Amino acid sequence: MTDWTAFEAAAARDADARIVDQFAADPDRVARMGVETAGLYLDLSKQAWTREGFETCLDLARSAGVEAARTRLFGGEAINATEGRAVLHPALRATKGSNYIALGEPVSAEVDAVRADMAAYATAVRSGSETGATGKPFKAIVHIGIGGSDLGPRVVWDALRPLEPSIDLRFVANIDPRDMAEALTGLDPETTLVVVVSKTFTTQETLANAEAAKAWLAAGLPEAGRDKHFIGVTAAPDKAVAFGCARTFAFRDWVGGRYSLWSAVSLSCVIALGPDVFEAMLAGAAAMDDHFVSAPLEKNAPVLLALAQIWNVDGLNRPARTVAPYAHALRRLPAFLQQLEMESNGKRVHRDGSAVTRQTCPVVFGEPGTNGQHAFFQQIHQGPQVVPAEFVIVAKTHEDAPESPLWSNALAQGQALMLGKTTEQARAELLASGADAAEADRLATHKTFPGNRPSTAIVMERLTPETLGALLALYEHKTFVEGVVWDINSFDQWGVELGKVLAKAILKDVAAGGPSAELDPSTAGLLTRLLG
């Protein structure tokens, strides 16, 4: 178990320290707390730790056995102990001819074969040699999935899509029929490919949407060749074939859903972006893997990012974090991180089943900058709760745009959160602007900013397939390190399951025309109301 004694003492000692004062006290702070790797630069110097607190966090990672756990992860051991599975998503982006092993079984040759199969199929679709039932080439893809089968590919497509894509890629996740209706509007069944992504091919929402897509295809296509429009991506290919998929692309159970975008789960993106783009993204992620494995803890980007969060959550009692990507193309990143981090580490028991006695994953939320500045940034600047911020900054987001107004806002927000503004400064500014003394006294407290609020900056020159891959892998490894330090299993998700089971029971009540005796009064009343 992790030894928290020194950590707690350091957090108590640093609780009232001013971030801005640490730069004078530690002249090498920016260099010590900055890391450059895989096309990314991380600046953690505005985090709320002194040099001693920073060193104590590194000691915490060592006492938790982060390095040994990292070895077990990349060695393909059963680190997902509750399900007896390896967790080997790094194998999916390794260079061809690698030698990854999952629970003693070599897997790299299979990974290489699937990647080659995906590339060949994508090339055939893009060239028009792979056609639909009526001989027409595919011009659109409807990607059906939910959770990791949706958020990963969706964040990739939003980040890398060209302004005028040659293939129109649309996503459907919600079981609400409106989602499917919006996706299908304007599409022609003759030129539309449906890709159904489900690890088990039993997910209720995905299968319901797949049935709707299948009916739409049946209404507009002849039976002969119709199945060419229906592709399955799954760890259960037999079920996909039985469902009506003409072709399937497989991934294994050592690929967790929220870590699966590197696999055939992103087939739609491979087709719509091209295999070369996807391979470049894998290479960027592999570069981050290499860094995570080889860099010392004090210069290890995922480790430092994780320790900053643990310091805020467990040391300083700050149970929320905001992520603000200053790039429109990364607008889905906060949603992706919500699943990656909160589904992985939103746990209440240790790996041995005993109850946790500390906080684990914080609430993660965010919006692109500068949109968020005109919404929840009021709270993070002047609210009573301290909410650490993470700014993901792209220096040049578009060829024709002057970028400095965008990224200058990110720099200013980090600076403002740290510096704040005293009541005396606010009063002086009011007087300088022409307010009389009474008015200045009345408004000064309203214009006071407490400051001393931490932030991290993650900077890249451009958002490329390589830097996107590195960024997403950075967050994956950060999540893993946090789980190790908190001594929780980051790779199961039982919290997702209970509601699914109860939903099936309620659907039986719907079919029966009313609530069963087992339902609680509130749920029974709501069911009766919704049945009309």
Residue 370, preceding peptide bond in cis (omega within 30° of 0): yes
Spot the catalytic one: 105, 136, 424, 500. 500
Helices (H), 75-140: 108-127
Please answer whether residues 372 and 323 qualify as being in contact, where contact means their C-beta atoms are separated by less than 8 angstroms: no
d(CA 21, CA 363): 29
Residue 214 near residue 179 (C-beta atoms within 8 A): no
Q: Active-site residue 328, yes or no?
A: no
Q: Which two tokens stand for residue 400?
A: 């024709």
Structure tokens at 12: 């108590």
Instruction: Evaluate the omega torsion of the peptide bond into residue 467 and state whether it is cis, within 30 degrees of 0.
Output: no
User: First CA to last CA across the chain, in angstroms?
Assistant: 54
| 182 catalytic residue (yes or no) | no
Query: Which structure tokens are listed for 32?
Result: 């010590």
Position 237, amino acid: P
150: Cα separation from own chain's centroid: 11
Amino acid at 261: L
Query: How many Å apart are CA 445 and CA 467, to the nearest integer?
Result: 43
Q: How many residues does the chain have?
A: 532
What strands, in cross-sheet order, belong to the sheet with 389-396?
Answer: 34-37, 40-43, 455-462, 389-396, 320-326, 363-365
R_g of the chain, CA atoms, integer Å: 25
- d(CA 28, CA 51) in angstroms, rounded, equals 10
C-beta separation of 53 from 10 below 8 A: yes
Nearest-angstrom CA–CA distance, 180 and 519: 31
Q: Which residue in the list 343, 390, 466, 482 is annotated as catalytic? A: 343
Instruction: Name which of 239, 223, 219, 241 is nearest 231 in CA terms.
Output: 241
Contacts of 138 (CB under 8 A, 6+ apart): 125, 130, 131, 132, 167, 191, 192, 193
105 is catalytic: no
> How far apart are alpha carbons 417 and 68 in whole angstroms?
36
In contact, 466 and 43? CB cutoff 8 Å: no
3-state secondary structure (DSSP) of residue 236: coil
Catalytic residue among 36, 374, 424, 497: 374
Residue type, 357: T
Report the C-alpha gap between 7 and 301 in whole angstroms. 20
| Placement of tokens 């578009």 in the chain | 398
Two structure tokens written together for 371: 């949109």
How would you classify residue 317: left for phi > 0, otherwise alpha for psi between -120 and 50, otherwise beta? left
Residues 198/242, Cβ–Cβ less than 8 Å: no
Active-site residue numbers?
Answer: 343, 374, 500
